[in-house]
Amino acid sequence: MQLQFLGATGTVTGSKYLVRHEGAQLLVDCGLFQGYKQLRLRNWAPLPLPAAEIDAVILTHAHIDHSGYLPLMVRQGFRGPVFCSAPTRDLCRILLPDSGGLQEEEADYANRHGLGKHHPALPLYTRADAVAALEQLHAVAWHEEWEPIPGLRASLAHAGHMLGGSLLRLASARCSLLFSGDLGRPADALLPAPEAPPAADYLVVESTYGDRQHPTGDAMEELGEVIRRTAARAGTLVIPAFAVGRAQALLHGIQQLKARKSIPQVPVYLDSPMAASALHVYGRHRDELRLSEAECRAMEKAAHVVATPDESRALSARRGPMVIIAGSGMATGGRVVHHLKAFAPDHRNTILLAGFQAGGTRGASLQAGAPTLRIHGEDVPVRAEVAQIAALSAHADGAEIESWLRGMPRAPVRTFITHGEPAAADALRQRIERHLGWTVTVPEHGETFQLGAPT
């Protein structure tokens, strides 16, 4: 078996791992790069082999940094099956067309306003490309083995992090390889803890929060405090949120806070049709959640859904007190960008960061205390309060990753650390080497490794 790292090295985005076995090529995850421009430019660069030569793809989950390159690969000639869990298939039916539509909208905006260096500006792919790619998705059952390519057996187990998030184990006659995907937290409000890792000769593990420890406070109470103090100023709370996962957790928390009368009865708006659609997917797969049927229904009714762009623009013209949850989670695009432009200049308002902010994103700039944000070619002043609730993270922290690793039946021959910025990946490397005594590698972009039978 041969493993090549085509993404998520030195960064938390662009997850792609090419597995070669007996002349066949399998791509594990197929994500877009986000954040810094030099990373985003990789989305436009060709893969190291023609897309038509890839035999199959397996997705660990539906987030765009793990699935969003798929429409482009299909447009480039990939015709093989794309395997994933059933919730991942259903969420990709929402996320991928939305991603294509968003890229079309951004290209159109740049062309109408003369922004950008390319004339005309073109989308990376279109909504139609994404819809075409959906035809190749195939759901597989949890824990059941199948052969994505000849001679290689695969199986999925629950990884937490988001609905449908998967651990992936691949096994040939000579060796086995486990991918953690994105690991969830043991006490997530919506999802069960990640399953214990199965035995494997080689391991690829994420490190998004490998250098941090999440605070132990009550995240929902912190959210309530942010809502209360913003409402007391008659301000608007804007929450950039990932449409799948974070948005639903926020709605569940707000509904609970309102039920306990812990926050004022301010209007709450979900300005993300994609997040609203995802709520229905959560309802269909309720057996994979910690929530009861009544709690799922309450979560769906926790906010007014903003359906159209005109309604979203009208919302930006309103003033608080109110709460707006809108995509995207790192403020890289989508409707939340327009709300930041409208509400960031007013000191009465609050911008709440509720997830990881990759370097080079507007979210990371806000986290670092930037006095302005570059939006649509303008420098928008940031006078609003910027708050963050680290305990809302859907990623396991360093200690939680280590605890999960300790569940492996035996030490892997080698552990590869990916999906983390350099400091986080190196901190996790040191933790594993010192505490577990395992052999660890932090691979470089494009690096290839031969995976042989353990001796």
Q: Is the peptide bond before 176 cis (omega within 30 degrees of 0)?
A: no
CA 317 to chain centre: 30
Percentage of the chain with pLDDT > 70?
100
Q: What is residue 25's three-state secondary structure?
A: strand
Q: What is the DSSP letter of 405?
A: H
Which two three-digit tokens encode residue 345?
């200049």
pLDDT digits (tens, 9 = 90+) for 304-330: 999 898 999 999 999 989 999 998 788
Domain end residue (candidates: 372, 392, 412): 392
Residue 43 has pLDDT above 80, yes or no: yes
Domain boundary among 352, 370, 392: 392
- CATH number of 39's domain: 3.60.15.10
Same domain, 270 and 252: yes
- My answer on whether 238 and 361 are in the same domain is yes
Q: Are residues 300 and 404 both part of a single domain? A: no
Residue 289 domain-assigned (yes or no): yes
Confidence of residue 116 (pLDDT cuts 50, 70, 90): low
Q: Is residue 244 part of a domain?
A: yes
How does the average pLDDT of the chain come out, rounded?
A: 93
Give bridge partners of residue 449 from the DSSP assignment. Answer: 3
- Exposed, middle or buried: residue 374 (CB in 10 Å: 0-12, 13-18, 19+)? exposed
pLDDT at 355 over 80: no
* Those residues with Cβ within 8 angstroms of residue 195's Cβ, 6 or more apart along the chain or in another chain: 157, 158, 159, 167
Q: Give the domain extent around 343.
A: 219-392
Which helix (H) or strand (E) segment holds residue 362: the answer is helix 362-367
pLDDT digit string (tens) for 259-305?
A: 999 999 999 999 988 888 999 999 999 999 999 989 999 998 999 99
Same domain (yes/no): 10, 124: yes
Give how far Cα 435 sits from Cα of 403, 405, 439, Å: 11, 11, 12
In a domain, 44, yes or no: yes
Residue 383 belongs to a domain? yes
Q: Is residue 117 part of a domain?
A: yes
Total count of residues recorded for the chain: 455
Report how far residue 407's alpha carbon sits from residue 168's, in angstroms, rounded to the nearest whole number: 16
Do 257 and 157 reside in the same domain of the chain?
A: no
Spatial CA neighbour of 416 closest among 387, 445, 374: 445
> 57: burial class by Cβ within 10 Å (0-12, 13-18, 19+)?
buried
Least confident among 74-88, 114-128, 166-180: 114-128
| 100 plus 205 within the same structural domain | yes
50 and 198 assigned to the same domain: yes
What is the rounded radius of gyration, in angstroms, for the C-alpha atoms of the chain?
A: 21
**374 & 333 share domain:** yes
Determine the Cα angle at 410 with ends 406 and 415, to 5°.
75
Cut 0.85: pTM above it: yes
Is the CB of residue 18 less than 8 Å from the CB of residue 24?
A: no
User: Is the confidence at residue 118, as pLDDT, over 80?
Assistant: no
Peptide bond before residue 194 is cis, with ω within 30 degrees of 0: no
Whether residues 332 and 200 share a domain: the answer is no
- End position of a domain, from candidates 354, 371, 392: 392
Would strands 236-240 and 268-271 be described as parallel, antiparallel, or unpaired?
unpaired
pLDDT digits (tens, 9 = 90+) for 210-243: 999 988 878 889 999 999 999 999 999 999 988 8
In a domain, 431, yes or no: yes
Cis peptide bond prior to 412, omega within 30° of 0: no
Task: Tell me the average pLDDT across 126-144.
Answer: 97
Q: What is the CATH number of the domain that holds 343?
A: 3.40.50.10890
Q: What CA–CA distances, in Å, run from 231 to 228, 255, 431?
A: 5, 16, 42
CA 406 centroid distance within chain:
25
Task: Indicate whether 257 pLDDT > 80.
Answer: yes
Burial zone of 315 (CB within 10 Å; 0-12 exposed, 13-18 middle, 19+ buried): buried
Residues 131 and 201 in one domain: yes
Are 351 and 434 in the same domain?
no
186 preceded by cis ω (within 30°)?
no
Does some domain include residue 455?
no
Bigger pLDDT: 268 vs 106 = 268
Q: At what angle do helices 273-284 and 246-259 cross, to 10 degrees?
A: 80
Q: Are residues 244 and 182 in the same domain?
A: no
Separation CA 242–CA 220 (nearest Å): 17
Number of structural domains found in the chain: 2
Is 49 a member of any domain? Answer: yes
